[in-house]
Amino acid sequence: MSRNEHGGNGDGIAAVEKRLGISRRSFLQFCTAMAATMGLPKGADAAIASAVASKKRPSVIWLHFQECTGCTESMLRAEHPTLEKLILDVISLDYHETLFAAAGHQVEAARKAAMAANKGKYLLVVEGAIPTKDNGVYCKIGGQTALELLKECAADAAAVIAIGSCASWGGMPSTGPNPTGASSVSDVLGKTVATIPGCPPNPYNFLSTVVHFLTFGKLPELDGKGRPKFAYSRLVHDNCERRAHFDAGRFAMEFGDEGHRKGYCLYKLGCKGPETYSNCPTILFGDVGCASWPVATGHPCIGCTEQGVGFAKPIHALAELKNTVPPVSYPRVSEERGKGASLGAVAVVAAAGGAVAGSVVTMAKNLGKCPSAGGGCPSQSADKPAAGSERKEP
């Protein structure tokens, strides 16, 4: 594409090409994929390319609280040769406990310096739930509780993103009896934040959210739970490759049985896909091709993106069907051949059909006629017109 087609930013794209070691074509394909993933209109890919290539990378303060670091690991262990580079190239990761080479006072000093230099402009990314019981003493970093640190960092942030189910709605740490009072970022801050739930979430969902912010200066459209609609507006069940088996009534009943080996639906093994909103079956994981998400590998979806489902419902409990109600009965996998109807049965059906046909003829004759007097119509003969109503020839 010409330089003008990308807002006169050919030099910027060339710089990205050199910096990341990827071709111009691959970079533009990435921008197009981002635009398509977020459902943006035509021309958005050019805006994304221009923003990524020329705009100052947003400073990111990344906090860790009650979590397993799986969200960070998912982001960094992507197999696509450019994804991990793009994540770290699109953002300026100024504070991240796992990735910092430094430690102690040096790290905390770097965080405060980045926050001061980018006041009102930095992105705050939170990984992990926040313990609130006993004034938050169950998680302390640099002498501050998670509660104190979150509120301090969120005060001057341009946007707050909760990555992973723990930060989004409490996740595994918040399961009963929840001894630490583990809570979500939005509950602690008392406002809606962008949430990227999943255990772990797909790194593309996070990257797309950041790219949208970088390109348009705002977060993408969110649902009532703070999730980007481009990633969490459809049920897993809607796009599952096993959906046809569900509709046909073909289910795996036990792990390893014939249905399981043939790839039948895992609903009766506890798959939570029918009540879980996420794009897992369409975006997949690890950039390794098909079968790179739980259901495709033979394990039921556990509903990790849904509060009250993941880590709350037993793994093998049946899901609540949303938007999809199965028929009363399903056909069997192998239907037996019928023996045909007897003469007596045929005669009964024929007689019933004749009675229905007779009643239809009778009803047709009476169409347009008024009922007898007392039925709400004027008192007059059902077969004769009322006085003065005779039709006159022209």
Q: What pLDDT is recorded for position 6?
A: 41
Across all residues in the chain, what is the average pLDDT? 81
Dig out the tokens for 128 from the structure: 């992990």
pTM (2 d.p.): 0.74
**Do 49 and 62 fall into the same domain?**
no
Lowest mean pLDDT among 43-52, 310-319, 342-351: 342-351
Q: What pLDDT is recorded for position 335?
A: 55
**Do 170 and 191 fall into the same domain?**
yes
Whether 326 contacts 250, CB under 8 Å: no
**Do 193 and 210 fall into the same domain?**
yes
For residue range 21-48, list pLDDT tens digits in order. Answer: 778 888 888 788 888 877 787 788 888 8
Q: Mean per-residue pLDDT for 155-161? A: 95
> What single-letter amino acid sits at 92?
S
Q: What are the phi and psi torsion angles at 276 (to 5°)? A: -120, 125
H/E element, 163 = strand 159-163
> How buried is residue 156: exposed, middle or buried, by Cβ count under 10 Å (0-12/13-18/19+)?
middle
pLDDT exceeds cutoff 50 at 371: no
Q: Mean per-residue pLDDT for 335-344? A: 57
**Do 86 and 208 fall into the same domain?**
yes
pLDDT exceeds cutoff 90 at 104: no
What does the buried/exposed string (b/e) look like for 49-71 if buried means 16 or more CB atoms within 10 Å of the residue's CB? bbbbbbeeebbbbbbbbbbbebb
Whether 303 contacts 282, CB under 8 Å: no
CA nearest 293: which of 245, 233, 230, 242?
242
**Do 92 and 70 fall into the same domain?**
yes
Dig out the tokens for 210 from the structure: 């950041």
Q: Give the whole-angstrom CA distance, residue 267 versus residue 136.
A: 39
Higher pLDDT, 266 or 18: 266
Q: What pLDDT is recorded for position 269?
A: 96
DSSP 29-81: HHHHHHHHHTTPPTTHHHHHHHHHHHSPPPEEEEEE-BS-SHHHHHHHT--ST
**Do 26 and 159 fall into the same domain?**
no
**Do 184 and 304 fall into the same domain?**
no
Task: Tell me, yes or no, whether 25 lies in a domain.
Answer: yes
Give the contacts of 382 (CB within 8 A, at least 6 positions apart).
369, 370, 371, 372
Lowest mean pLDDT among 23-32, 102-111, 339-348: 339-348
Whether 130 contacts 190, CB under 8 Å: no
Q: What pLDDT is recorded for position 79?
A: 62
Q: Where residue 174 falls among pLDDT bands split at 50, 70, 90? A: very high
Q: Give the whole-angstrom CA distance, residue 143 versus residue 151.
A: 15
Q: Where residue 375 falls among pLDDT bands split at 50, 70, 90? A: very low
**Do 69 and 166 fall into the same domain?**
yes
Give the Cβ contact number of residue 271 at 10 Å: 29
Strands 159-163 and 182-183: unpaired
Q: Give the whole-angstrom CA distance, residue 24 versus residue 37.
A: 20
Sheet of 159-163, strand order: 92-96, 59-64, 123-127, 159-163, 194-196
Whether 170 contacts 188, CB under 8 Å: no
In the chain, DSSP finds a helix count (H) and a strand count (E) of 16, 9
For residue range 227-242, list pLDDT tens digits in order. Answer: 999 999 999 999 999 9
For residue range 259-283, list pLDDT tens digits in order. Answer: 999 999 999 999 999 999 999 999 8
DSSP 334-383: SPPPP----HHHHHHHHHHHHHHHHHHHHHHHTTT----TTSSS-S--SS
Lowest mean pLDDT among 139-148, 155-164, 260-269, 366-375: 366-375
**Do 87 and 225 fall into the same domain?**
yes
Q: What pLDDT is recorded for position 30?
A: 79
**Chosen domain end from 279, 298, 330:** 330
CA nearest 145: which of 160, 133, 135, 155?
135
Number of structural domains in the chain = 3
Domain ranges, residue 282: 234-330
Higher pLDDT, 74 or 347: 74
Task: Tell me, yes or no, whether 394 lies in a domain.
Answer: no
**Do 190 and 244 fall into the same domain?**
no
Q: What pLDDT is recorded for position 43?
A: 82
Q: 30's torsion region: left (phi>0), alpha (psi -120 to 50) or beta?
A: alpha
For residue range 53-103, list pLDDT tens digits in order. Answer: 777 788 999 999 999 999 998 887 766 656 667 677 788 889 998 888 778
Q: Give the whole-angstrom CA distance, residue 137 versus residue 134.
A: 6
Q: What pLDDT is recorded for position 103?
A: 81
**Do 262 and 320 fall into the same domain?**
yes
Lowest mean pLDDT among 167-181, 304-318, 375-389: 375-389
